[in-house]
Amino acid sequence: MNKYQLLTVVGFLAISLTFHSCKKDEDPAPEDFIANNDTFKDFSSWTLGGEFQGADPSLGGAHGGNDSTVTRSVYFKNNVVPISGLYPQGAVIVKYSTNTAGNLNEYTAMVKRGNNFNPTGNDWEYFMLAGDGQIATDSDGNEMRGSNLMNGMCIGCHTKASTSDYIFTQR
Ligand code: HEC
């Protein structure tokens, strides 16, 4: 084999290796991070990233914001933090609002579902939870979740925090 034949063989090997590795890169296909009931288990033991006391007129009735005795606690799973301003796919944040009388107990959550789930809302999915961390169900038995939960009420207000990836609580 002369120098040129050798170069041809090496070149061919390099090209086929490139094609091979391209194929590998496409597999597995990207997937959404789809939360289930286990996702929110034991949320009260996660990192408490923010605690807010008392009424907040900017909230209206949301998160018990019209109750002067309310405490709103925000928990971050696996101590997740934003990377260059954006939370990673699979980020899970739970917020619990309660009051001194104990007759307010509201559990909400946001999960970074990713994979272009909702590109105009940075791919967050919004949730209502039951007290035990299970995903709440409506009167028709459907899970209370989605990018547009409560006819867009959640994302409508969280859009005010769009410059911090739709998350108000700064850590
Ligand atoms: C009127 C505005 C408003 C609406 C509506 C609203 N939120 Fe929030 N949310 C806030 C604010 C402000 C905070 C920051 C914590 C605080 O001040 O209590 C917050 C915090 C949160 C957090 C903790 C992460 C963060 O951004 O700090 C989650 C999770 C959350 N909200 C979920 C929801 C869900 C789910 C809904 C709909 C069912 C919803 N929110 C509706 C204003 C709103």
Q: Tell me the pLDDT of the chain averaged across its residues.
A: 90
**Mean pLDDT (whole number) for 52-60:** 95
The single-letter code of the amino acid at 47 is T
Picking from 100, 163, 151, the residue whose alpha carbon sits closest to that of residue 126 is: 151
Q: Which residue has the tokens 């911090």?
A: 164
The pLDDT, as a whole number, for residue 8 is 60
Round the CA-based radius of gyration of the chain to a whole number and report it. Answer: 23
- Rounded to the nearest angstrom, the distance between the alpha carbon of 138 and the centre of ligand 1 is 20
Which tokens in the block code for residue 106? 């509201």
Cα–Cα distance between 158 and 169 in angstroms, integer? 11
**Closest by CA position to 102, among listed 131, 127, 62:** 131
For residue 130, is pLDDT > 70? yes
Would you tell me how many other CB atoms lie within 10 Å of the CB of residue 71?
16
To which residue do tokens 């391209």 refer? 22
CB-based pocket (< 6 A), ligand 1:
52, 56, 59-60, 62-63, 72, 74, 93, 95, 108-110, 126-128, 149-150, 153-154, 157-158, 161, 167-169
pLDDT number for residue 30: 74
What is the 50 CA–ligand 1 centroid distance (Å)? 12
- Distance in angstroms (rounded) separating the CA atoms of residues 78 and 89: 13
Nearest to 96 by CA among 78, 72, 77: 72
Name the residue with the closest Cα to ligand 1, atom 39: 154
Distance between CA atoms of residues 6 and 3, nearest Å = 5
Position 71 pLDDT exceeds 90 = yes
40, two tokens: 């929110």
Per-residue confidence band for 25, with pLDDT thresholds at 50, 70 and 90 = low
Whose tokens are 């408490």? That residue is 48
CA distance 41 to 70: 23
> What would the mean pLDDT of 33-51 be, rounded to a whole number?
98
- pLDDT tens, 89-115? 999 999 999 999 999 999 999 999 999
